[in-house]
């Protein structure tokens, strides 16, 4: 398919990107790695009149120690995040998930900020950010604000970002020595997960779910069961509690419920085993 006509502007700074977005209104969209937006444009599911390319803003590509948290620039590529020694030591789940996304081409072009801003429930990084209790720093005409991952994802491909705001940084609490696991069931290695599970055990347990609803989700039923003293297997039986499970060509709601039960149990058992 051929995308609808659009104008293209290349921003050299965050401030310029915000100005261009403000001028373009609802018809302007950001372009970073392009792996989320461009397929939608080719299918005419997205028809922006203006693309604002921020891929060249090198100031937004980094992983830094920020005290009790890691600060990750929004334009950090998946491949760079997966190889980063600081991320691998302080938040190994995030590095592992980034290193498993798609194929080498996707990992070397896609950005963590683009994946978060897209808000796809089938994407791996949003679930990892939920399990890590991350937060997102966004910038707009009125300055910066920080949004918790649990408040960021609002509907299918809908987030708390305003049309003229840009994600500039992801803040991830350090969890060195915490137990963690990422389990994913898909047909081929590069495919979207039919169901995925990200779990972090560090005193309490947080569980993020991939492709189990209209948004990236926490498995609150399983988390509450664990807090009440349930075993991993017992808690896993509550993985889909209260969720409106999707149905598509790959899986019925019943099949997703079964996969979530199996994968949450595996994730909890692995997280318990690999604590240091």
Specify the 3-state DSSP secondary structure of 167.
Answer: strand
Tell me the average pLDDT across 157-183.
95
Structure letter (DSSP) for residue 250: S
Strand segments (E) across 67-117: 69-73
**pLDDT given at position 177:** 87
Lowest mean pLDDT among 29-33, 64-68, 201-205, 235-239: 29-33
Tell me the average pLDDT across 151-165.
96
**pLDDT given at position 38:** 82
Instruction: Provide the total of helices (H) and of strands (E) in the chain, helices listed first.
Output: 12, 14
C-beta of residue 130 within 8 angstroms of C-beta of residue 208: yes
pLDDT in tens, 183-206: 999 988 778 899 999 999 998 999
Q: Which residue has the tokens 């240091």?
A: 276
Q: How confident is the model at residue 36 (pLDDT cuts 50, 70, 90)?
A: confident
Half-sphere exposure of 251 (CA within 13 A, CB side): 21
228 CB-near residues (< 8 Å, 6+ apart): none
Among candidate residues 245, 202, 203, the one with its CA nearest the CA of residue 221: 245
pTM above 0.75, yes or no: yes
Tell me the average pLDDT across 237-266.
97
Q: How confident is the model at residue 47 (pLDDT cuts 50, 70, 90)?
A: confident
**pLDDT given at position 276:** 52
Q: How confident is the model at residue 158 (pLDDT cuts 50, 70, 90)?
A: very high
Give strand pairing partners of 51.
8, 29
∠ CA 147-151-152 to the nearest 5 degrees? 70
**pLDDT given at position 6:** 87
Measure the CA–CA gap between 163 and 151, rounded to whole angstroms: 17
- Which of residues 1 and 146 earns the better pLDDT score? 146
Query: For residue 134, what are its two tokens?
Result: 């991350």
**pLDDT given at position 234:** 98
**pLDDT given at position 231:** 97
Tell me the average pLDDT across 207-221.
97
Tell me the average pLDDT across 79-92.
97
Q: How confident is the model at residue 115 (pLDDT cuts 50, 70, 90)?
A: very high
Where do the domains of the chain lie, and which CATH numbers do they carry? 7-48 (no CATH), 60-173 (3.30.465.10), 179-273 (3.30.390.50)
Measure the CA–CA gap between 101 and 75, rounded to whole angstroms: 16
Tell me the average pLDDT across 262-269.
98
């Amino acid at each position: 398919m051929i995308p609808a006509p659009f104008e293209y502007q290349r921003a050299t700074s965050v401030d310029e990107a915000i100005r261009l977005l403000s001028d373009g209104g609802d018809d302007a969209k950001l372009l970073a790695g392009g792996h989320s937006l461009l397929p939608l444009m080719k299918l005419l599911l997205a028809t922006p009149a203006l693309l604002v390319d921020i891929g060249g803003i090198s100031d937004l590509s980094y992983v830094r120690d920020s005290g009790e948290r890691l600060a990750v620039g929004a334009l950090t590529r998946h491949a760079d995040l997966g190889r980063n020694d600081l991320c691998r030591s302080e938040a190994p789940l995030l590095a592992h998930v980034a290193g498993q996304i798609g194929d080498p081409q996707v990992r070397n072009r896609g950005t963590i900020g683009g994946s978060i801003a897209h808000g796809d429930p089938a994407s791996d990084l949003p679930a990892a950010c939920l399990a890590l209790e991350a937060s997102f720093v966004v910038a707009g005409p009125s300055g910066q604000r920080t949004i918790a991952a649990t408040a960021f994802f609002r509907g299918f491909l809908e987030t708390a970002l305003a049309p003229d705001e840009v994600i500039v940084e992801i803040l991830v609490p350090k969890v060195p020595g915490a137990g963690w696991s990422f389990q994913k069931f898909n047909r081929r290695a590069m495919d979207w997960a039919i169901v995925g599970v990200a779990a972090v055990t560090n005193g309490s347990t947080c569980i993020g779910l991939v492709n189990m609803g209209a948004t990236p989700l926490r498995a609150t039923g399983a988390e509450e069961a664990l807090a009440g003293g349930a075993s991993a297997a017992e808690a896993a039986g509550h993985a889909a509690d209260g969720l409106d499970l999707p149905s598509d060509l790959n899986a019925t709601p019943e099949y997703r419920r079964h996969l979530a039960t199996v994968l949450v149990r595996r994730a909890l058992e692995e997280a318990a085993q690999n604590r240091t």
